[in-house]
Amino acid sequence: MRVDQSVLLEQAKCYVVGIQWVLHYYYSGVPSWSWFYPYHYAPFVSDIRGFSDIMIEFELGKPFLPFEQLLGVLPPASKSLLPKAFQVRDAHSCQVWNLATRTLMSI
């Protein structure tokens, strides 16, 4: 993926939305169960500018079930901590748990 100005702008925008999500979470409760920051790294501080008039709205959605939450954070090597129904057959399998449909799917 080529990183150009539009990618940096989108990354910075998502970061600002993420900061708003965290503030809302601590002061008012969960603003959205499905929102996530889609990048691996934060932008440079110098790239976060021009967002004073941004309108941010979250869709609350539904909370994940406890084992679905674990599927999102546990590494594959920890699969033995989950019930058999949630375990992928082997650590190199190309199957993932689809949180939207709550089913195991091949990728």
Strand partners, 9: none
Return the closest-CA partner of residue 39 out of 66, 8, 63. Answer: 8
CA distance 102 to 48: 36
**Contact by Cβ (8 Å): 94, 107:** yes
pLDDT of residue 89: 57
pLDDT of residue 96: 57
Structure tokens, 90: 């082997």
pLDDT of residue 15: 96
The per-residue pLDDT string of the chain (107 residues; one tens digit each, 9 = 90 and over) reads: 688 999 999 999 999 999 999 999 999 999 999 999 999 899 999 999 989 899 999 999 999 888 888 877 888 788 888 888 777 655 555 555 555 566 666 65
pLDDT of residue 103: 65
**What ranges do the domains of the chain cover?**
1-63, 66-106
pLDDT of residue 61: 93
pLDDT of residue 66: 86
